[in-house]
Amino acid sequence: MVEVARICDRKGGVGADGLIRIGKGERYWFMDYRNQDGSIAEMCGNGIRVMARYLVERGHQSEGIFAIATRAGNKFLAVPAFEDISVNMGSVVEVYDEVTVSIGDLTWSAMHIEVGNPHAVVFVDDLDAIGDLKEAPEVEGDYPDGVNVEFVQFLPNGELAMRVYERGVGETKSCGTGTCAVALAASIKSKKKLPVRWIINPPGGRLVVDIDGHNNATLIGPALIIRDVELDQFL
């Protein structure tokens, strides 16, 4: 845990929202994902696309369709050599319990969405109104292992904008599982029938989420390897 936090530190380390250790089982690659603070997470929707890109780009795996095992189950990806990567994120489920999210004097009702990991989705009229998100929002709900909180705004063009506070990290520029949670929550709130496609705009860039008639989500977006780093200096 200490080593992960040191590597992910944005001042003295590499700088990252989390760390993936790649393992190899008998059938599938395994994604051992840790949050920025070293805590274990079930999986990461953006991270799994980066892992898939790394495997293909570095010659460990042929492009095409293959699976990566995670703590949230096996995820199948379509990985072309250069274009966007699609990952079947599995079932996205609304949990029918009472959830509230508070920042300072502001309190909202939230939707509890499970995407293999837990999310609280809040709809707001203006994303700027929630402030700088330097402190974790206060969440009342059934989240024994913590929760990711998404704040969402419907845009005039029919797309969605979002900001996210990730457990064990803080505000991040994007969250793959969070966009899937947001897609289901927006479908329910707007009473759209499944299947449905949402274009979602976190600060880190546009992602596409398809939800089929059985609540299975497919996350579509780019993944890019930006540099290689020797970790010995941080351990």
Residues classed as catalytic: 44, 175
| Rounded CA separation 179/193 (Å) | 18
Q: Who's near 194: CB < 8 A, 6+ residues apart? A: 187, 211, 212, 213, 214, 215
Angle (CA) 35-40-46 rounded to 5° is 50
Cβ contact 149:164 at 8 Å: yes
Point out which residues pair with 165 in neighbouring strands. 149, 171
| Rounded CA separation 207/190 (Å) | 19
State how far the alpha carbon of 193 is from the alpha carbons of 37, 45, 147, in Å. 39, 24, 27
DSSP 201-225: E-TT--EEEEE-TTSEEEEEE----
